[in-house]
Amino acid sequence: MNTSQECLHSSLITSQMDTLTHFIFVPDNVLKADVTIVLGMSLWERPLARAIDLYRQGLAGRLALCGGYNPKIGAIEALKMYRKAKSIGIPDSDILVDPDSSNTAENFSNAVFLLQANNIRTTRSVVNIVSIHFHSRRALLTAQKVFGNGVQFGIATYPSIHYTSNTWYETEAGRRNVSDEIEKIVRYFPGNMLPEGIN
């Protein structure tokens, strides 16, 4: 490969990386919401901190804390978040808890049930989603599928402790996370979901 071919090859790779980055990592777009759905994780303090920040700004509405038993921490993610939120003064009236979900689809289907059970409309509503950055695209696609038309979604992300949205391809964790997300998007959302050039 000569120098010009190497430059072209490098340019194509850079272009593909840019396309993939913009697809997977949805830019923050926080709305003044009726409810904010918080997706749990092992490091549950991180999504909760992001949600509390939105709450204190008057943007969150009620908080729907989602996440079942996590063997890595030996606890139910949603309950850990609930106890912390309560301890800093967020009233019970502004907290909904889903202690049973074990995946993204269940996070949102259980959230719909919680909203309906608490007389919060699930159509023509505004919903923020709090998600780790690399999961934001699949979280948004799942929410749109579960809630259906008529809901306006905002996104509030926080970065991995290992990489940013601009450096994911430089780390093994980043490459693995993005690869897993692409695989799951293809599996759960068949059709032409991926941008052209991403296989």
Instruction: Residue 137: give its domain's CATH number.
Output: 3.40.50.620
Domain count, the chain: 1
Residue 170 resides in a domain: no
Residue 146 resides in a domain: yes
Residue 23 resides in a domain: no
Residue 177 resides in a domain: no
CA distances from 19 to 113, 175, 191 (A): 35, 15, 18
Residue 171 resides in a domain: no
Residue 74, by phi and psi: left (phi above 0), alpha (psi -120 to 50) or beta? Answer: left
For the record, the structure tokens of 49 come out as 């901190």
> CB of 24 within 8 A of CB of 134?
yes
Q: List pLDDT tens digits, range 125-156.
A: 999 999 999 999 999 999 999 998 889 999 99
Beta bridge partners of 59: none
pLDDT class of 196 with cuts at 50, 70, 90: confident
Give the chain's length: 199
Average pLDDT in the chain: 90
H/E element, 174 = helix 172-188
Residue 71 resides in a domain: yes
Residue 18 resides in a domain: no
Q: List pLDDT tens digits, range 70-100.
A: 999 999 999 999 999 999 999 999 999 999 9
The runs of H, that is alpha helices, within 25-157 are 45-56, 77-87, 104-117, 136-147
Res 131: pLDDT? 98
For the record, the structure tokens of 117 come out as 């059970």
pLDDT at 9 over 80: no
Residue 129 makes CB contacts below 8 A (sequence gap 6+) with: 36, 37, 39, 136, 139, 140, 143, 153, 154, 155, 156
Residue 187 resides in a domain: no
pLDDT at 123 over 90: no
Q: Which domain holds residue 51?
A: 31-158
pTM (two decimals):
0.90
